[in-house]
Chain A
Amino acid sequence: MTASALSELNDKRLVAVLKNVSLSYGKTQALDDLSLDIPAGIMAGIIGPDGVGKSSLFSLISGAHAIQHGTIEVLGGDMRKQQHRQSVCPRIAYMPQGLGKNLYHTLSVFENVDFFGRLFGHDRHEREQRISELLEATGLTAFADRPAGKLSGGMKQKLGLCCALIHDPDLLILDEPTTGVDPLSRRQFWSLINRIRSDNPGMSVLVATAYMEEAADFDWLVAMNQGKVLTTGTPQQILEHTSTSSLESAFIALLPEEQRQRHQPVVISSRDESAQDEFAIEADKLTRRFGHFTAVDQVSFRIPRGEIFGFLGSNGCGKTTTMKMLTGLLAASEGKARLFGKIIDPHDLSTRQRVGYMTQSFSLYGELTVKQNLDLHARLFKLPSHSIAARIDEMAKRFELEAVLDSLPDALPLGQRQRLSLAVAMIHGPEMLILDEPTSGVDPIARDVFWQIMVDLARQDGVTIFISTHFMNEAERCDRISLMHAGRVLVTDTPENLKKARNTASLEDAFVDYLQEEVRRTENLPMTDEGAKNSIKTNHKSDSSSRVPLTDFSLRRLYSYTRRETLELVRDPIRLTMAMLGTLLLMFVVGYGISLDVEDLKFAVLDADQSATSRDYTLNLSGSRYFIEQPALYSHAELEQRMQSGELSLAIEIPYGFGRDLARGRPVEIGAWIDGSMPTRGENIRGYVQGMHSHWLTMKSREILGSSVTAQPASIEARFRYNPDVKSLVAMVPAMIPLLLMLILSMLTALSVVREKELGSIVNLYVTPVSRLEFLLGKQLPYIALGMLNFVLLVLFAVFIFQVPLSGSFLTLTFAALLYVFCATSLGLLISAFTRSQIAALFGTALLTLIPAVQFSGMIDPVSSMQGLGRWIGEVYPATHFLTISRGVFSKGLSYSDLHSAFTALFIAVPVLMLIGVMLLKKQER
C-alpha cells in the first residue's frame, strides 16, 4: 500500500457510493440490499466466491446495467440519471469478464484500439500517438496487425486494457482480468497496471479477482458473499480481523458457518505405482498444422492409468489443439495417439463413452436450464433412466449447483458455469477426464472441492486425468506436469523435480524461468509480449481539459462504428461477393423465370362426334401458342381423373352429332372444363377459350354464309402501353430492383445488432458515450454504400443484359434508390434491435421482407386492387413506392414531379423507421 493511497483513504474521497442496492435476474437475487462506499484513487479489490454478485456490482457501477433498486453515485452523480451517465461514461472504463468479450475479433489490434479512441472523440493525431504509446507499453506493437480473435488469452486482456485506457479514465473497472491467463502474462499484466497507476495517481481502479495472491497486493478489499458485503478494509486489516495468515484462509473464516464447513483442505494420497505399465494416453510425435502455422509440433507423452497429468503453458501454445486431437475432434497432421491402447478413431463411439471432456470456453446450451443440461448429457451417455435423477442430484451437490438447478447458464457467473461444465463432463463416471482449464474463473473454495473430487477419482477409481491449468497450486497437485511452449513440450516431470532442476522455491518461478529461457533461445519468433518499457502517461494535459467535451451527436463516434462495420464487411469477402453477385443472379433467374403470359397449357378433347367439324374445332385450339394438345379423352371418368392429377388444365367435350347439328343450324353446346385450382391461370384459360371459340365461329359463319357477313359489329382495339410487346421482362425487371435491394440489404443489417448481443460486444454501446442514433446510423452507412453500388449494378444489368430501356432520368431513380436503401437498411436494423437471437432476426427479416415485397408491393398485382390487411401493408411498405418510381422511370419516362407522392412516402418512411429502431434499442442492459 502506497503512502499516497493511504492518505487518499483518510481523505474519504469516494469514487462510488452505493445505498441499499438490490438486483435480481428473474428469480435469482444477485445483489441483496447492498450498501458500500468505495474510496477514490486506490486499487480496490472485490473478492468472493462465484455468484456472489461481483460482476453485477460492476455492471451497475459502470452503467451497463439499469439500476433496479437503491441508489448508486459514481464520480459524484446519480447513475440513475441519464444525463449524468452520459457525462461520466467517458471517465469510466469497463472491461467485462471473459477473454476479449468486448473486442471485435475480425478487427486487428490497432483497429480495435482505434475504434475505442474514435468513440471517445480523440482527433487523429492524438489518437495515433496514444495508440502507439499504449501498444508500446503493453508490448503489443509487434502484433498491431493481428486480428484480435487470433491473440492468446493474455494478449487479449492486454488489448482490452489498451482499449479501456485510451480515454484517460478516472475509474478503471476490471472484472477478473487475469482469469484464464498464464502466469507469465499475468505478471506482465499487473506490472503494467502498477506502472499506469504510478503515472496517474488520481486514477481509481476497481478489480474483481479469483486469485487471492493478487488480492493481497491491492490497497483495499471488499469481501462479498451472497449479494452482501462481508467486510471491507486493507488486506492487513482483514488478516488481523480474522487472525489468519493468508487471504485465502481469511476469506474462508469470514464465511458463514455452514458454508465454511464445506471447505476441507485437499488431501492427496500417494499414488499406487503398480499399474505404471498400462497407459491410458499415448501420444507419439503428434503434429498439427494449420496452413503454414504449426500449432502442435511433435508432441509425445505417455500417461499411465490413474495418473493426474498437468498440462501447463502460455496461452496459445497448443494445449487446446493437443487436447482436441486426443478427443478426435481434430485429425492429426502427423503422428499417432492412442487412448486405452486404441488408435483414436472419430467414429468410435465406445471410446467416447469412457472419456469426459471439458472445453475451454463454455460450450453447453445457454437455452437450457442447468438441470436440463445435466439431464440431456446423462441421457446422451446412456445412463439408465431410473438412475438419472439421483445422479443429477449427486453432481449438483458435489459441485454446489443445487441452488441454480433451474437457472439458465447465461445468467450465471463464469465460475458456476465452469462448475456446470465439469459436472457435465463427469456425469457418466468416465475412466478418463480431459479437462481444458476447468478451474478458470472458479473461486478457491470450489476449486479445492473440485480437486478433492479429482484426487479421489484418480486414487480410488483409477480415473486418468489430463488437465490443463494456469494455477500453480493446482499444478503442484499433479503427479506429473508437462510444460508446453509454441507447440512443443519443453519438459515433462514431477513438480518437485522441476523446482529442483531450476533451483527455485516455487513452481511458478520455475515455470517463468523455463519460458523465459525458451523465449530467449528463439528470439526471432516473437511469441510473448515482453518489452513493455515505456511509461504510460494517460493524462497528457490537466485533468478535464484534455477530454473532448461531449456533444449530443458526434460524427466521429458515428464514424467509428461505420469504420468497424466496414472492416468487418470487407473481412468477409465471401459474404460480400454473395451479396453483390447474388442479387445479379437472382435478377436473372427470377426476372427471366416469372412469366406472366400464361401459355403452353395442356388440354385434351373428349370428342364424341369424331366428325370433320369437331376435329376442326380441336385444331383451332391446338394450333394456338396457348395450348398443347394431349392424348384424347375417351370417357368422363378419364376426364375426371386426368384433371384431378393436374395433367390437364382444360378439357373440351364435343357432343355426339355436333357436326351434323351445326350444319342443320340446330343449337349445339360445347362443354369446357377449366382447372380452377389456380385462379389466375383459370381466368386466362377462360379468356383464351372464349376468344378462340368466337374466332372459330366467325370463320365458320364465313365459310357457310360467305365472306360478306361481318362477324363483329364493332371492334375493340387494345393498346398495351409502356410495354407494347407485353414482355414480362419489361414489367418484371424494374420491379426486381426494389425487391432484391429490400431482401439483401435488410438481411445484411438484420444481424448486425443482434450478433453483438449474442457475442457480447454490445456492452460497448452500454458503457461508451456513443448514442443509440450514432450506433445505428454508424452501422447503417456502409450498408447504404453497398446498397447503392448494388443498385447501380442492377440498373446496368437491366439495361445492358436484359435490354430493358431506361426511358426516364437516371438521376431521379438514383435519388429514389438512396431513400429506399435507407429504408431497407433501417428495417433490418429495426428487426435486429428488438430480437434476442440471430435465428429470430433471420426468420423475422424473411417474414417481414420477402412476403410483403413479393406479394403486397404491387410487383404482380397493383396495390390499388388489393384490400384488407394486405392492402394496408402494401400502402405503407417502402417497396411499393420505390416500385412505382422504378417502373415509372424505367417504362414510363416519368420525372420527379410526376412521382412526388411516392417520393413523399419514402421521405416519411426513412425517419420513421430509424426512429422506431432507436426506440427499440436499449442503451442499458435490463
Chain B
Amino acid sequence: MAISNILHLGVKELRSLLRDPVLMIFIVYAFSLSIYAAATAMIDSLNNAPIAIVDDDRSPLSMRIVDAFYPPYFLPPVLIDQHEIDGRMDMGIDTFALHIPSNFQRDLLAGHQPVIQLNIDATRMGQAFTGNNYVQSIVSGEIDAFVQRHRQESVTPVDLVLRAKFNPELNSQWFGAVMEVINNITMLSIILTGAALIREREHGTLEHLLVMPVTPFEIMASKVWAMALVVITATALSLWLVVQTWLAVPIQGSVWLFLLGTLFHLFATTSLGIFLGTVARSMPQFGILLVMILLPLQVLSGASTPRESMPDIIQSIMLLAPDTHFVILAQSILYRGAGFSEVWPQFLILLLLGGVLFGVSLSRFRKTIASMA
C-alpha cells in the first residue's frame, strides 16, 4: 500500500469533479437552498393548520372558542355552515372542522355535558395527531376558564409543569435544518463514489489503473478520501453559513465532534457507494439501485419520523444502515449537547459498518471488472 498513490489518485478525483460545473451547482444547491427550504417549510410541527368552525351556538363562549385559534399553530378559522363540512374536507381545504352545537353554552352551564364534534382528516397523519391534542386542549382550556368564572370552583390540585429540554419551543426549523444536512450528506457521498467507480469502468480507465503498480485498495481508498473531503467541506460550510448563520439555529454541542462523526459516517457511506458500484453493471442500473437505497435511508433512519415507533422488524433492518446511527449521533451531539462519552458506540458501529462494506467491495473489485461488458 502506498500513501502517495492514494493521495495522487484522490487529487485526480477532485480534479474530475471540478470539471463538471453542473454537478458543482447541484452540490452547492444541496447544501444551501435545499437546506433552507426544508428548514423553513415547517417552522413548527403544527403550523398553520387549516381549521373550519361551524358555530351554531353564537354564544359568548362559542365566540371565545373561535377566537382561541390563531397563527402560527392554526390558520385563522373559517366560519362555515354545517353542510359545507363534507365538501371542504373532501377537497382537502380543512384538516380540522369543529362543530359547536346550538345551545352549547346553556347546556354547559346547566351541567348537561354537551358534546363538541371535531372532524379530523386522518389521511394527514402528521397534523391529525398533534392537531387533535392542540384543539382538545385549547377548547377545554376555554371551557374550563369559562366555567371557573361562573362556578368559582377550586383550582386543579396538581399542576403539571411541562418543559421541553434542548428545544424549549419545539421549533421544527432546528430539527429540519440539520436532518436535511444529514440526508444530503448520505445522498451525495453514495452517488459520488459509486458513480465515479462506474464511470471509470465504463471509460476503461479502471482497467488501465490495474495494470499499473496500483492496488484495488489504493483505488478505493483514494475515492473514499476524496469524496469524503468534498462532502465534509460542504457540510462544514453548510452548518456554519446556512444552519448557524442564516437560519440562526442554536447548536448545543460541539460542531467539531459532529464533524468527526460525519467523517466516520462518510467512511461507511462512501464504502456503501463503492459497494453499489461493484454490484451495478452499468450507470442505469446504479441509478435504480440508488433509489432503492436512498429512499429507505431518508425515510426510515429516524430523521423524519421517530425510530422507536417503527415496527420492530424495520427497526432491526435499519440498524444495518449507517444513517440510523449517524442520525442518533447527530441528534445527541447537536441538540442534546452530548459528548464523546455518550456517543462512542455510534462511532464504533459506523467504523464497523464502513469496514465491512469496504472489505466486501475490495473482495468483489477485480471480479466486477472482468464482468464488465
Beta-carbon contacts of B274-297 to A below 8 Å, as 1s and 0s? 000000011111111111101110
Residues on the A chain within 8 Å of B139, using CB: 716
Beta-carbon contacts of B101-145 to A below 8 Å, as 1s and 0s? 000100010010111111111111111111011111101100110
Check A230 for interface membership: any CB of B closer than 8 A. no
Assess whether B196 is in contact with A677, with CB atoms less than 8 Å apart: no
Beta-carbon contacts of A365-395 to B below 8 Å, as 1s and 0s? 1111000100011011110000000000000
Residues on the A chain within 8 Å of B211, using CB: 327-329, 352, 355, 357
A840-B23 CB under 8 A given contacts A363-B207, A846-B290: yes
Assess whether A682 is in contact with B161, with CB atoms less than 8 Å apart: no
Check B46 for interface membership: any CB of A closer than 8 A. yes
Residues on the B chain within 8 Å of A860, using CB: 125-126, 304-305
Beta-carbon contacts of B296-320 to A below 8 Å, as 1s and 0s? 1011100011101111001001100
Q: Closest residue to B105 on the A side, CB-wise?
A: A714
Q: Give A570-591 interface residues, CB cut-off 8 Å to B.
A: 572, 574-575, 578-579, 582, 585-586, 589-590
Assess whether B188 is in contact with A671, with CB atoms less than 8 Å apart: no
Check B82 for interface membership: any CB of A closer than 8 A. no
Residues on the B chain within 8 Å of A684, using CB: 129-130, 133
Assess whether A590 is in contact with B22, with CB atoms less than 8 Å apart: no
Q: 12 A-B pairs, CB-CB below 8 angstroms?
A: A575-B288, A665-B157, A675-B165, A677-B175, A697-B158, A713-B147, A716-B139, A837-B23, A842-B195, A842-B286, A847-B29, A854-B295
Residues on the B chain within 8 Å of A376, using CB: 8-9, 11-12
The 6 A-B pairs of least Cβ separation, nearest first, read A870-B41, A687-B133, A676-B167, A676-B164, A677-B335, A596-B125
Given A363-B204, A673-B163: 9 more A-B contacts, CB < 8 Å:
A349-B214, A367-B15, A572-B282, A668-B158, A670-B159, A683-B46, A722-B123, A739-B295, A860-B305
Min CB distance A181 to B, Å, is: 20
Interface centre among A585, A674, A861, A864 (most CB of B within 10 A): A861
Assess whether A714 is in contact with B191, with CB atoms less than 8 Å apart: no
Report the Cα distance A295→B26, complex, angstroms: 45
Check B237 for interface membership: any CB of A closer than 8 A. no
Assess whether A582 is in contact with B45, with CB atoms less than 8 Å apart: no
Report the Cα distance A748→B337, complex, angstroms: 42
Beta-carbon contacts of A132-176 to B below 8 Å, as 1s and 0s? 000000000000000001000000000000000000000000000
Check A81 for interface membership: any CB of B closer than 8 A. no
Assess whether B284 is in contact with A864, with CB atoms less than 8 Å apart: no
Q: Closest residue to A726 on the B side, CB-wise?
A: B122
A868-B37 CB under 8 A given contacts A731-B124, A888-B92: yes
Assess whether B159 is in contact with A668, with CB atoms less than 8 Å apart: yes
Assess whether A865 is in contact with B127, with CB atoms less than 8 Å apart: yes
Report the Cα distance A682→B168, complex, angstroms: 10
Check A629 for interface membership: any CB of B closer than 8 A. no
Check A871 for interface membership: any CB of B closer than 8 A. yes
Beta-carbon contacts of B26-56 to A below 8 Å, as 1s and 0s? 1101100110111011111111111000000
Residues on the B chain within 8 Å of A328, using CB: 210-211
Assess whether B4 is in contact with A379, with CB atoms less than 8 Å apart: yes
Check B205 for interface membership: any CB of A closer than 8 A. yes
Min CB distance A648 to B, Å, is: 10
Check B152 for interface membership: any CB of A closer than 8 A. no
A714-B33 CB under 8 A given contacts A594-B300, A596-B129, A675-B166: no
Beta-carbon contacts of A678-695 to B below 8 Å, as 1s and 0s? 111111101111110100
Check B89 for interface membership: any CB of A closer than 8 A. yes
For the side of the interface on B, what is the size category? 35 or more
Assess whether A690 is in contact with B291, with CB atoms less than 8 Å apart: no
Assess whether B282 is in contact with A845, with CB atoms less than 8 Å apart: no
Min CB distance B318 to A, Å, is: 8
Assess whether A843 is in contact with B188, with CB atoms less than 8 Å apart: yes
Assess whether A865 is in contact with B290, with CB atoms less than 8 Å apart: no
Residues on the B chain within 8 Å of A367, using CB: 15-16, 19-20
Residues on the A chain within 8 Å of B299, using CB: 590, 593-594, 854
Assess whether A346 is in contact with B212, with CB atoms less than 8 Å apart: no
Report the Cα distance A715→B116, complex, angstroms: 6
Assess whether B140 is in contact with A675, with CB atoms less than 8 Å apart: no
Assess whether B48 is in contact with A718, with CB atoms less than 8 Å apart: no
Check A361 for interface membership: any CB of B closer than 8 A. yes
Min CB distance B222 to A, Å, is: 10
Check B331 for interface membership: any CB of A closer than 8 A. yes
Check A548 for interface membership: any CB of B closer than 8 A. no
Report the Cα distance A710→B147, complex, angstroms: 13
Assess whether B156 is in contact with A697, with CB atoms less than 8 Å apart: yes
Assess whether A681 is in contact with B306, with CB atoms less than 8 Å apart: yes
Report the Cα distance A586→B130, complex, angstroms: 27
Check A866 for interface membership: any CB of B closer than 8 A. yes
Residues on the B chain within 8 Å of A671, using CB: 161, 163
Q: Closest residue to A739 on the B side, CB-wise?
A: B295
Residues on the A chain within 8 Å of B113, using CB: 710, 712-715
Q: Closest residue to B286 on the A side, CB-wise?
A: A842
Residues on the A chain within 8 Å of B36, using CB: 869
Assess whether A718 is in contact with B328, with CB atoms less than 8 Å apart: no
Beta-carbon contacts of A870-885 to B below 8 Å, as 1s and 0s? 1101100000000010
A598-B91 CB under 8 A given contacts A582-B292, A670-B159: no
Check B67 for interface membership: any CB of A closer than 8 A. no
Assess whether A851 is in contact with B163, with CB atoms less than 8 Å apart: no
Min CB distance A70 to B, Å, is: 29
Check A112 for interface membership: any CB of B closer than 8 A. no
Interface centre among B95, B113, B126 (most CB of A within 10 A): B126
Check A364 for interface membership: any CB of B closer than 8 A. yes
CB contact between A713 and one of B23, B111, B156, B184 (< 8 Å): that residue: B111
Check A850 for interface membership: any CB of B closer than 8 A. yes
Report the Cα distance A743→B113, complex, angstroms: 51
CB contact between B291 and one of A365, A582, A592 (< 8 Å): that residue: A582
Q: Closest residue to A901 on the B side, CB-wise?
A: B91
Q: Closest residue to B369 on the A side, CB-wise?
A: A329
Report the Cα distance A839→B22, complex, angstroms: 10
Check B213 for interface membership: any CB of A closer than 8 A. yes
Check B368 for interface membership: any CB of A closer than 8 A. no
CB contact between A717 and one of B5, B16, B118 (< 8 Å): that residue: B118
Check A546 for interface membership: any CB of B closer than 8 A. no
Assess whether A898 is in contact with B162, with CB atoms less than 8 Å apart: no
A721-B161 CB under 8 A given contacts A677-B335, A732-B125: no
Report the Cα distance A847→B184, complex, angstroms: 8
Check B187 for interface membership: any CB of A closer than 8 A. yes
Beta-carbon contacts of A707-744 to B below 8 Å, as 1s and 0s? 00010111111111111101010111010000110011
Report the Cα distance A870→B42, complex, angstroms: 8
Min CB distance A146 to B, Å, is: 14
Residues on the B chain within 8 Å of A845, using CB: 287
Assess whether B34 is in contact with A847, with CB atoms less than 8 Å apart: yes
Residues on the A chain within 8 Å of B46, using CB: 683
Assess whether B338 is in contact with A687, with CB atoms less than 8 Å apart: no
Report the Cα distance A873→B42, complex, angstroms: 13
Min CB distance A660 to B, Å, is: 13
Check B192 for interface membership: any CB of A closer than 8 A. yes
Check A667 for interface membership: any CB of B closer than 8 A. yes
Check A838 for interface membership: any CB of B closer than 8 A. yes
Residues on the B chain within 8 Å of A366, using CB: 203
CB contact between B22 and one of A362, A408, A572, A835 (< 8 Å): that residue: A835
Report the Cα distance A220→B40, complex, angstroms: 70
Assess whether B167 is in contact with A677, with CB atoms less than 8 Å apart: yes
Assess whether A668 is in contact with B157, with CB atoms less than 8 Å apart: yes
Min CB distance A866 to B, Å, is: 4
Check A646 for interface membership: any CB of B closer than 8 A. yes
Min CB distance B204 to A, Å, is: 4
Assess whether B336 is in contact with A854, with CB atoms less than 8 Å apart: no
Assess whether B311 is in contact with A380, with CB atoms less than 8 Å apart: no
Check B183 for interface membership: any CB of A closer than 8 A. yes
Assess whether A643 is in contact with B120, with CB atoms less than 8 Å apart: no
Assess whether A751 is in contact with B212, with CB atoms less than 8 Å apart: no
Assess whether A870 is in contact with B38, with CB atoms less than 8 Å apart: yes
The stretch of A9-17, A52-60, A599-607 that contacts the partner chain: A599-607
Residues on the A chain within 8 Å of B284, using CB: 572, 575, 748, 751, 755
